[in-house]
Amino acid sequence: MLKGRLGLDSAKVPHADRAGCLYLARGALTARDGTLAFLQGPQTEADALSEGDYAIPLQGVSIILLGPGSTVSHDALRLLAHARTALAAVGEDGVRLYTAPPMIPDRSGLARLQARIWADDDLRLMTARRMYAMRLGEVLPHADLDVLGGIEGARMKETYALQAQRIGISWRGRRYDRANPMASDLPNQALNHAASAVEAAAAIAVCATATIPQLGFIHEDPGQSFVLDVADLYRDSVTVPCAFKAARQVSERPSENIERVTRRMTGTALRRDGIIPDMIERIKALIEGRGA
């Protein structure tokens, strides 16, 4: 028998033995018989679960992503906290991160390693070069981050042009006015929305690994520097293709909203390609020094 009204007084499964993320939407997350239950409402195309009542493996996941149309009970929150399972309120398919309580992992290993690497100039440079290698597809001999950034910037210009040509949209270069973002053309607006969606997914991955968002290796000043580092790893494979496909769709159907179309298209790619779990594994590989 499990002790306590909500049970699980002592049993805690290490996060290394858990499955990772679980996305739930359009339902009620409650506590029942010492574990979690989710009452799924009418299913949509984005939902993995059909309508019904489900028992949720509380200690089988590290973080539950609670999507639109959902509620969570006070007892469920207590149970999640006791099992050290994180909960994040997210947009459809993780294209927004609204809030997430601090995760309390079994160990602080990743965060401590990250801080050690970040504080050591040589290790920090080595890690930044590894991130550039992930983005560029090759390890470059340059040790200067400004040089690597320049090379990456030049290749991104080529990527924009090639992707635009392949997808069939007009591209006149990356332009963004922070004071008036709606003044940009459709491809540039779509790039902003797709980048925000991928950054939200990266924020979820950073939260799930309990790493430190402020300690980036390429980005330095923003409070979400490490989140931006991780998001940039997917610029070529997710952000740009989704943005340009959305721009083409809206150019052909002017009545549609570019932000909505872009976020939905990016969310579909995040779900279909398992991007958030992949981000989690890349973060672990990067900080622990394993191949990625």
Is 152 annotated in some ligand binding site? yes
Question: How does DSSP assign the chain, residue by residue?
Answer: ---SSS--SS----GGGS--EEEE-SEEEEEETTEEEEEE-S--TT-SSPSEEEEE-GGG-SEEEE-TT-EE-HHHHHHHHHHT-EEEEE-GGGS-EEE-PPP--S--HHHHHHHHHHHSHHHHHHHHHHHHHHHHSS--S---HHHHHHHHHHHHHHHHHHHHHHHT---------TT-GGGS-HHHHHHHHHHHHHHHHHHHHHHHHT--TT--SS--SSTTHHHHHHHHTTIIIIIHHHHHHHHHHHHH-TTS-HHHHHHHHHHHHHHHTTHHHHHHHHHHHHHHT---
> Which positions ≥6 away from 49 have C-beta within 8 Å?
24, 27, 38, 40, 43
State the distance between the two ends of the chain, measured CA to CA, in whole angstroms: 43
Residue with tokens 């979690």: 36
d(CA 121, CA 124): 5
Is 142 annotated among the ligand-binding residues? Answer: no
CB atoms near residue 288 (< 10 Å): 12
Residue 74 marked ligand-binding:
no
Binding residues: 152, 219, 232
Binding residues for Mn(2+): 152, 219, 232
